[in-house]
Structure 1
Amino acid sequence: MNSQHKLHDVILKPAFFENKRQATLLRYLDADFIARFQQDIQQQRFSGIQFSEWQEEERHSDFDDRPVLRLPTHRAFHIVCCEVACNRLGEPALDPAKIASAGFVIRRESLVRIPLRNKEGDGFTQDIQEKKGVFNRLTLNQKSDGRTRGKPQFTQVKKQFGWILEDGEAIGWQHRGLLKDDPDLSRRLCRNGVLHRNKDQNTYSGEEIHPLHPLKIKDKQGKCRTLLFGYVPLGGFYYERQPEFSDDEAEEIDQLSTANLPWPFGYKSGVPTEGWNSDDGLQVNRGRPTVALATMLSQLVNRYHLGEENLPDNSGLQQACDRLDFYNPDLIFQMPVLPVSFFSSFSGVNEIFQQTLNAGTLSLQFVSAGLSLGQYLKDCFAQKENNPLVRWIADVEVLADSVGGIENLPQLPPLPNADGNGVLSYSLSVSESDAELLRQQLGARLRNLTLATTREIPLPKFGQGRQDTYRIIPFLRSLTDQGGEQITWADPLAQSDLFRVAASFDPMASRPSLIPMPSLKDLKRGMAKGASILTPGDTFALVNALKLKKGVSEDTVNIDTSVASTVQWICSFSLPVVTLVAMILLMIMVSLLNIIFFWMPWVKICLPFPSIPKGR
């Protein structure tokens, strides 16, 4: 007894109304596109612009003549359509009852440059010639005898990448091979070609699929046809959960972390030709920091919030700053000079001792004041919104702007005490090793911050680069005579043409959006209602203190909001006013920018638009 399922052979092919041998892509410009498509098919309206001419309008890419599909934000919607038939004489339409499910995947196609290996075997791989149907091999600079000589020869291989989901979460484009397996990982392809469903897994894992719906109609000759159609979603994003940097990228980030910091904490002016100088060590002299330390403090406070609680990512920088102790310059411990022979008996003589052996006395100035730079930052952040160091940095930026840069200041104001009362009177010195450690930790912190930010930023699914071309590939799960399932993928002739996807800001893809402006008489009609803002009591006290003639003054900024009522306020504004203010501000900004960039011909055009009576 033969228990093997008998497979019902089916084929996917272009729709019967399609002149070209490709799956049909249609474009509609209204939201009711599904009903419009069904009506067009039932009434045989195949001469409409949505069936043919629209692709010629969309060939405006900077790289090639591929059509550029618009996004739903452009109020454009696309449908893919193909036909399914039995692989028998005459190709009769497949009964929709034989369709278990149907769908399509969107593949990204790009050319990848890989090295070749000649017949002598020069170490380069050449294993792509058997992968027909997915890769197209284009050999570059190959000799007539089939071998490559001299420099390594390369081949451009066209690879396909699928949009992969893992437990329902998108993880991005990954390389996909031949079209034979089911895109759903919970299904298993047996040796006899029958699919079995795994019902234990609830969340989807595999290549993202989009549904196709069957539609049975008759053509003009009266022949039955079974079409498959579906909406093409052109949005989506994913989060890079495990981003990694190459060695070159990591080195570039390390350079960026210190590019804006002066020596010895960075390389803004380059490394001094004489290397480390003894004058580089003193960074705070009786409370007054150097430009290098002030610039680094601004970065530590504003970018990394070093010293703030519950920030474990700052542990490396915190440890480096904890090594730097302030000292009291008025407390100097002196001792008489001892003979050089006394120190020569010790290995690794301290650098400070060596530099001062020939002086009259040996001064040890590093008498710790019991306060490190790391602890100082912690004490400042403990003041919450009254952080004195934040105010000091803001004051220094104002002074620097007034003289054309912080480097032009004759001297910086002294650092404030951590409690905000008075100024710091201590000094601070760093060694060459301390400065190098800070540079390393700044690079590591920037890399970690970049990786953390990358994990939180949604990356778009469709790109607009030269290599970002896409293709739609339909598939069908049909029922066998015994009730099992088999999967059938569309061959290259039944797949869609390559296309590109427009960016949301693409001016060639945008459509006019009509925003009616209110009349001036609408400003005085009715009450202020429409745009309502829920305002906390302290914020309302600050906003309510604004004076129309004075604007934002120092008295307004320093208002005591702690005594404000805890009652929340709802502030309502008239929609005509909001619309007019937005329009006026937009025109002011465009006019100002037009003075510099001459944008006006590209950003504004005014045409007369007559008032059309209703019913015309």
Structure 2
Amino acid sequence: MVGAATLHPAARRKAVAMLPRQPAHEICLRPLGGGDARNVIATSSARDFVEALFEDLQAADWRTRLTAMRGLRKGSDNVLELSLPTHRRFQLALFEAYCLQPGEPRLDPAKIRGSGLVLRRLAGSRHEAWYKRGKTVLGWQAVNLPDADPDPAKAAIHPANAALRSAIAARQGGGVQAPAESVHGLYPAPPEVCKAIGKTVLFAVIPVASGELEDRPGDAINYAALPAADQHEMIAHLSCFLKARPERDLPRAGQVLSKDWNVLSPETTVADPQLALIATFLYQMMAELDALGSGPAAARLLQVLAEIQLPTAEDQLGRPTATLDAASFVRRAAPILIAGEGNPQGHAMPLRWPAVDEATGQRLIEAAFACLTEQHAARIGPPEKFRDEQARYCVRGFLRAAGHDDCPDALVWSIESEPFRILPWWDGEGPGTTIALPDIARLKEVKPSVTFALPSSLANLLKGNMEDLAKGKGGTGGPGIDWLCSFSIPGITLCAFIVLNIFLSMLNIIFSWMMSIKVCIPIPKRQ
């Protein structure tokens, strides 16, 4: 008789077909200890939280300990809130794998070919996952098939899966690589832990922080499409020289422009409000709208301004004999009055700003909005994975269990966890970090521990008169010598701490925050 191992594959398939079909082996993945979605996530404050978890699970009262680790913090809307690692609290997803048979025997860990955890963002009634295609990060996208394999490439490990996918790929003519959902590690607990409680335990650290960015530009705000109320606020913010307005004489008309006017100083704002309006206009043009830049929106704004002619000289009857367009005025005045550059050409302030009709004013506003849209797009950068502090998420575990010979692996999903949000970096309840400051009596023992390399221009500026420097009159002229200056980090920290306390006390009059931002308790003097 020929042994089964020596049968030709075709003969073996015929023999297998004649055998009674083996029943499917149902496998389940549920929260550790049973229960619903609220039992998936546990929080630990232990420094070595994984080892602490294993220790708790091997204790006789492990169920009680696990219950104490669940649902530790919830918001006013009863949504679970998870801490960042910097808060010294760590969240784990805990599952158990068992066979759906009488007695619910635990699944043999050797049957697990792979496992993982997915984190999904809740967007209304749909779920979104963080997808990648090869090395390209696609970011948050809708999950259309929540029970499908999160990584199509991993699903092809078994020969049966691989053959099927190869056939599909051949029929489709190859094509683009399918996107894969980000999968985080879901690990089996050590054998001694599983044996102690009689369960096949799987655990995962829930990812709540990431430096990942999408490989696409960020979502820029289209200022022209803002709601009416927001548009009204933005228009009110724009300078009066960027809207329809009546004719008005300009301050210091005919005078040579000078950086010494200090048009942005509070003193100038009080003493010469009309000059302050010019300062606001030029600052917005130069800093907020980047009108002197090379962007197409800036060019359109200057094109509209170029239609406005500012009189620079007039005859005895008040009729203009020479004019300067408003765009040229911006190009000349902004570097002098705002950037503090010199005026060797002797550019002067025009005499008047003529009336601007409603149509031109609307075109100015639209051009300014286009500049703001362009500026916002240039500054926001690619979207971050956990940028939205109000977003809600859930996690879900899965495993791939080995089936019978020539059968594909079984993909088994858990239920999803209860929704949760991730706390911002400033909202932590974990123990704070202690920074020891030196005793005043020992300050002379503190040695310089960090060195700054100063170019000569900066060194000369700092060596000048500090009172002049505070008034913006400091100069960079002097010896062409660079410097290395060493400082004590504890000393710098102490100075910053003293200044911080001064400003906290001053601003407490406005914010009344002292009880929440600064808490000091007495301790015995160190011996």
TM-score per shorter chain, which class?
Answer: 0.7 to 0.9
Equivalent residues of 2:241, 2:281 under 8 A apart: no
Partner of 1:537: 456
Equivalent residues of 2:46, 2:89 under 8 A apart: yes
Provide the C-alpha distance between the structure 1 equivalents of 2:374 and 2:438, rounded to a whole number of angstroms. 50
Provide the C-alpha distance between the structure 2 equivalents of 1:208 and 1:101, rounded to a whole number of angstroms. 15
- The correspondence for 1:589, drawn from 503, 508, 517, is 503
The SS at the match of 2:432 is coil
Matches of residues 44-443 of structure 1 in structure 2 within 5 Å?
A: 46=62, 49=65, 51-55=66-70, 57-59=72-74, 61-64=75-78, 66-109=79-122, 112=124, 158-168=125-135, 170-184=137-151, 186=153, 194=161, 205-215=179-189, 217=191, 225-236=199-210, 238=213, 241-243=218-220, 245=222, 249=226, 251=228, 254-261=231-238, 263=240, 265-266=242-243, 279-280=246-247, 287=254, 295-308=280-293, 310-330=294-314, 369=323, 371-379=324-332, 387-390=335-338, 419=344, 421=346, 423-424=348-349, 429=354, 431-432=356-357, 433-443=359-369
Segments of structure 2 that go 5 or more residues without pairing to the other structure are 1-9, 256-273
Deviation at 1:227, TM superposition (A): 2.0
The SS at the match of 1:55 is coil
Equivalent residues of 1:14, 1:22 under 8 A apart: no
Provide the C-alpha distance between the structure 1 equivalents of 2:73 and 2:98, rounded to a whole number of angstroms. 31
1:575 aligns with 2:489: yes
Q: Which amino acid aligns with 2:131?
A: I
Partner of 1:560: 476
Segments of structure 1 that go 5 or more residues without pairing to the other structure are 113-157, 268-275, 333-362, 382-386, 393-415
Q: Which amino acid aligns with 1:518?
A: P
1:503 aligns with 2:388: no
Task: Describe the shift of the 1:591–1:48 C-alpha distance in structure 2 as closer, same or farther (beyond 3 A).
Answer: farther
Equivalent residues of 2:121, 2:129 under 8 A apart: yes
Provide the C-alpha distance between the structure 2 equivalents of 1:316 and 1:265, rounded to a whole number of angstroms. 13
Equivalent residues of 1:212, 1:228 under 8 A apart: yes
Deviation at 1:209, TM superposition (A): 1.7
Task: Describe the shift of the 1:31–1:314 C-alpha distance in structure 2 as closer, same or farther (beyond 3 A).
Answer: farther
The SS at the match of 2:27 is strand
Q: Which amino acid aligns with 1:211?
A: G
Equivalent residues of 2:44, 2:91 under 8 A apart: yes
The SS at the match of 2:469 is coil
Equivalent residues of 2:290, 2:371 under 8 A apart: no
Task: Describe the shift of the 1:538–1:314 C-alpha distance in structure 2 as closer, same or farther (beyond 3 A).
Answer: same
Task: Describe the shift of the 1:184–1:427 C-alpha distance in structure 2 as closer, same or farther (beyond 3 A).
Answer: same
The SS at the match of 1:516 is coil
Provide the C-alpha distance between the structure 2 equivalents of 1:203 and 1:231, rounded to a whole number of angstroms. 29
The SS at the match of 1:460 is coil
Provide the C-alpha distance between the structure 2 equivalents of 1:330 and 1:486, rounded to a whole number of angstroms. 90
Partner of 1:133: none
Higher mean Cα deviation, 99-108 or 237-246?
Answer: 237-246
Deviation at 1:428, TM superposition (A): 5.3
1:477 aligns with 2:394: no
Deviation at 1:225, TM superposition (A): 3.3
Partner of 1:132: none
Q: Which amino acid aligns with 1:63?
A: D
Equivalent residues of 1:379, 1:419 under 8 A apart: no
The SS at the match of 1:452 is helix
Task: Describe the shift of the 1:435–1:247 C-alpha distance in structure 2 as closer, same or farther (beyond 3 A).
Answer: closer
- The correspondence for 2:513, drawn from 576, 580, 599, is 599
The SS at the match of 2:313 is coil
Q: Which amino acid aligns with 2:330?
A: L
Q: Which amino acid aligns with 1:315?
A: A
Deviations 1:237-285 (A, max 9, x none): 6456344659752655543442134656338xxxxxxxx7xx5387799
The SS at the match of 1:38 is helix
The SS at the match of 1:448 is helix
Equivalent residues of 1:11, 1:85 under 8 A apart: yes
Deviation at 1:175, TM superposition (A): 3.3
Deviations 1:179-233 (A, max 9, x none): 221222556789x994677999999933322111123536798785322211111
Provide the C-alpha distance between the structure 2 equivalents of 1:305 and 1:223, rounded to a whole number of angstroms. 66
Aligned residue pairs total 481
Provide the C-alpha distance between the structure 2 equivalents of 1:523 and 1:263, rounded to a whole number of angstroms. 55
Partner of 2:27: 11
Provide the C-alpha distance between the structure 2 equivalents of 1:159 and 1:497, rounded to a whole number of angstroms. 15
Provide the C-alpha distance between the structure 1 equivalents of 2:473 and 2:418, rounded to a whole number of angstroms. 61
Deviation at 1:610, TM superposition (A): 3.5
Provide the C-alpha distance between the structure 2 equivalents of 1:222 and 1:425, rounded to a whole number of angstroms. 88
The SS at the match of 1:52 is helix
Provide the C-alpha distance between the structure 2 equivalents of 1:163 and 1:515, rounded to a whole number of angstroms. 38
Higher mean Cα deviation, 296-305 or 479-488?
Answer: 479-488
The SS at the match of 2:366 is helix
Deviation at 1:463, TM superposition (A): 2.5
Deviation at 1:564, TM superposition (A): 4.4
Provide the C-alpha distance between the structure 2 equivalents of 1:21 and 1:456, rounded to a whole number of angstroms. 33
Equivalent residues of 1:15, 1:227 under 8 A apart: no
Deviation at 1:300, TM superposition (A): 0.6
Task: Describe the shift of the 1:93–1:62 C-alpha distance in structure 2 as closer, same or farther (beyond 3 A).
Answer: same
The SS at the match of 2:505 is helix
Provide the C-alpha distance between the structure 1 equivalents of 2:313 and 2:95, rounded to a whole number of angstroms. 84
Equivalent residues of 2:150, 2:183 under 8 A apart: yes
The SS at the match of 1:447 is helix
Task: Describe the shift of the 1:189–1:52 C-alpha distance in structure 2 as closer, same or farther (beyond 3 A).
Answer: same
Equivalent residues of 1:253, 1:447 under 8 A apart: no
Deviation at 1:474, TM superposition (A): 0.7
Higher mean Cα deviation, 238-247 or 172-181?
Answer: 238-247
Equivalent residues of 1:475, 1:487 under 8 A apart: no
**If each structure's helix is expressed as a fraction of its own residues, which one has the higher value?**
2
Provide the C-alpha distance between the structure 2 equivalents of 1:560 and 1:291, rounded to a whole number of angstroms. 28
Provide the C-alpha distance between the structure 1 equivalents of 2:62 and 2:412, rounded to a whole number of angstroms. 26
Identity of aligned residues (%): 21
Give TM-score, length-normalised by structure 1: 0.65
Partner of 2:264: none
Provide the C-alpha distance between the structure 2 equivalents of 1:264 and 1:324, rounded to a whole number of angstroms. 11
Deviations 1:6-62 (A, max 9, x none): 99745233355456676542322244223333344456661674x221335423x12
Give TM-score, length-normalised by structure 2: 0.75
Deviation at 1:368, TM superposition (A): 5.7
Provide the C-alpha distance between the structure 2 equivalents of 1:252 and 1:485, rounded to a whole number of angstroms. 58
Deviations 1:569-590 (A, max 9, x none): 3322223322321221122122
Partner of 1:140: none
Partner of 1:153: none
Partner of 1:525: 445
1:486 aligns with 2:409: yes
Task: Describe the shift of the 1:444–1:366 C-alpha distance in structure 2 as closer, same or farther (beyond 3 A).
Answer: farther
Task: Describe the shift of the 1:202–1:479 C-alpha distance in structure 2 as closer, same or farther (beyond 3 A).
Answer: farther
Deviations 1:523-571 (A, max 9, x none): 0115x32233232221122112244xx47355x834233x54263x332
